[in-house]
A and B are shown apart, each in its own frame.
Chain A
Amino acid sequence: MNKFESEPILIIKDLWKSFGNLEVLKGINLEVYKAEVIVVIGPSGGGKSTLLRCINHLEKYDRGEIWFQGELVDEKSTDMNKLRTKIGMVFQQFNLFPHLKVIDNLTLAPKVVKKIDENSAREKAEKLLKRVGLVDKMNEYPTKLSGGQQQRVAIARALMMDPVLMLFDEPTSALDPELVGEVLEVMKSLAKEGMTMIVVTHEIGFAREVSDRVVFMDGGVIVEAGPPEQIFKQPQHPRTKEFLRKVL
C-alpha cells in the first residue's frame, strides 16, 4: 500500500509573506502526507525558515491558507498554543532552557501545558532520553553538553508533546562536523518510525537516504520539487542545477 494514499496532514495554499517591503514568500503551495519526510534545500535567504515558522505560526503570514489535519488554521478561531503542541520544532541554535536541567527541559511543557503529572512526565522523559542516548545526562544543565547532545535533547523535548509533525530548521548547521552524525542518526530513526517531518538542511546525504521528497526553494518560491533521485540526478530548473553544483 502506498503510504501517501490518505489525505495530506498539511496543506499550504498560495502562502505569501513579506517583512516590510521585502517579499519573502511568494505563493508557496505544498502538501505533506502522513509519515512523509520532506527535505527543503535552497540558498540562504530563500525563505526556508520563514516557511517553517509560518507553519507553526511563530510568524504571521499575509495571504494564503494553511490546513492542518483537515482544519483551516485561522488566527481568529484556532487556538495557536494548542496547535503548536501538535507541531514540534527543532531550531538551529537548539534553544534549550539553560536554567533547567535536561530532565526539566523535557518535562516542563507537558506538565504546564498538558497538565501531565510529574511522575508520568518523568517516566516519558527518561524513555525519550534513552532513545536519543542521553539518559545519563538527565541531571545535567544544558550548557554542560556538547552541541550534538544539546540538539538531541531538543529533539526529545519536542517529542514529549507527541507531535504529529516535526519541523527541523537546519538542525545540524551550528554543529562541529564530527557531531552532525549523531543528530542525523536520531532524525533517521524518527523517520523510520513514521514521523512526518519537514527538514530544512544542507545535508544532501540525509536527503538522499531518508527523504521522500526534496523541495528546492529560492527567492520565496518553490522552484522545483520531487523525489530525491530526480532532484539530485536530473534537476530540471537551471537554478536548481546551479545550487546543486555548489553544494554537491
Chain B
Amino acid sequence: MIYALEVTIKSLPFLLEGALRTLQITSLAVLLGLIIGTFVGMARLSKHKLLRYPATVYVEFLRGTPLLVQIFIIYFGLPAVGLNIPRYPSGIIALGINSGAYIAEIVRAGIQSIPKGQTEAAKSLGMTYWQTMRYIILPQAFRNILPALGNEFIALTKDSSLVSVIAIRELLRSGQIVISRTYQSFAVYIAVALIYFVMTFIMSRIVRWTEKKVTVS
C-alpha cells in the first residue's frame, strides 16, 4: 500500500507531462474542429444543396461511427492507400475531424439563434454574405455558443484518451507506461483518473463562469 503510493507520487511528474500532452492534443484538435465546424455549420444552413448535403453527410457519418474506428482509419487505414501521417498529427486530425462534426451542430444552432433582423440590417447596408457572417453573425453566434464550445472541449479532453491506442504518449498512455514498469495498476489508474478529473473540473468551472457572463449581457 505504502509502496503503491510511493510509486505513484514518484511517477507524478511523468504523468503530468502526459496530462500536458493531453491538453496540447485536445487544444489543437478543438482548433481544427472549430475551423471545420464553422464552415460545415454554415454549409448546413446554406440554400445550395451542393453545400448542404455533403455537410449533412459529414456530420451524420462522424457522429454515427465510433471515434476509435475513425482513429484506426486515419492511422492504420490511410497508409494502406499510400497516405502516411505520423502518429501525433494522426491523433490530432482524427480528434479534430470528429469534434468538427459536433462543433458544426453547435455553430449551426448559434447562427440560428441570431435574429433574422441582424442579417437583414447588414444586407440592407450592402454587405455581402461573407461580410455579414464575418462581422455580424459569427461574432454574436460565438459569444452565445462559448459555453457549448467549452463543454465540447471537456468532452474531447476525455475522448482524447482513445489516441493512447496508437501509442501517443498522452495522460492515459503515460499511466500505462508507468504500470508496465511498476505493476501498480490500481493506484496508477486512480491517479490518472484524478488528473483527468481535476482538469475537467477546472474547465467546467470556467465554462460556468462564461455561461454567466453570456447570459448577463
Contacts and interface: CB of A to CB of B under 8 A. Distances in A.
A197 B121 CA distance: 18
A89 interface: yes
B124 A58 contact: yes
A89 to B, nearest CB: 4
Given A91-B117, A95-B117, A58 B123 contact: yes
Interface string B80-93: 00000000000000
Contacts of B123: 58, 81, 84
A88 interface: yes
Contacts of A95: 115, 117-118, 120-121
A142 B122 CA distance: 16
Nearest to A105: B121
A58 B140 contact: no
B213 interface: no
B117 A93 contact: yes
A79 B79 CA distance: 48
B118 A113 contact: no
Interface in B109-134: 115, 117-118, 120-128, 131
Interface residues of B, number: 19
A96 B126 CA distance: 15
B208 interface: no
Given A85-B126, A109-B127, A98 B140 contact: yes
A134 B117 CA distance: 23
Interface string A74-99: 00000001111101110101011111
Contacts of A160: 125
A191 interface: no
Contacts of A85: 125-126
Contact of B124 (A56, A97, A114): A56
Contacts of B136: 97
Interface of A: 56, 58, 81-85, 87-89, 91, 93, 95-99, 108-109, 112-114, 143, 154, 157-158, 160-161
Interface of B: 115, 117-118, 120-128, 131, 135-136, 139-140, 143, 217
9 contacts: A83-B126, A87-B124, A95-B117, A99-B139, A99-B140, A108-B135, A109-B127, A112-B131, A157-B125
